Structure 1
């Protein structure tokens, strides 16, 4: 059954003109989710590396990635998600045909409205269309809310890896779902 999109939002592939809005949203959501766990300098360095306009433009243009956005009724980007081919982790290396759900970011004012679920479902549909059998992701061990969402969507923890922000190494749970 296809996900039903609420009438006040729409979902589509990201376009080059979306880069500034996606970069701003990514930096905002990352900051409020993880900012307390690292120094302001380490956070800013990571944001400059991962959520700058050039970094986001590279993600949108990368043929190994699929980025989708959710827009509000007035056209503002309120969420985005990124699917990445060609990545793996040791704990899933034995699985055939995997793809990474690299990011799902939703503006806090849209939390609890099903936007994240819509993004996840759309990425799963894209992955299936491309012939992948498994989708995997890394989620911070302290992001309990996201872990619960992924569990409800059918993902299960299969391992861990380190995620470095500046000089801080945090632990991400690796979760996988069969498509």
Structure 2
């Protein structure tokens, strides 16, 4: 399985041949793997703490804690500052970890959805993350699409195709239905 984080060189122009995986692979186009999660097991703690200390309030309380560790400056115990700071950081980290866990699950679900791809003249089931630039895909009514597509044909009268863009930004507020005529 390819990782979604694989870096690609910037594209200047695109040359694509339909249904020619070998030809299109030499251009190293981006994969169709979706990654909306921010963290992994290794990067969670450092990135999350860095993001949390971008907040002025958290930085302020950290500065107060450092000052309270110097007995000549502070008459208060360091305990009065570290408990609320650690509590806020922990609650925020748990919330961020939970959100990211659900992003990982959602990414995995989308990446593993099945589609019908024309490969070597035959329609084959393929996971969305394995769909490549130039692949010909057969879609059916109300089928989910996790890629940018060029519509070649439609079974609707006058070649109409209705696209619901509810998945854009993963928000229901973005929900639209657009007719596209070929």
TM-score normalized with structure 2 length: 0.35
TM-score normalized with structure 1 length: 0.35
Larger radius of gyration: 2
Q: By percentage of residues, which structure has more strand?
A: 1
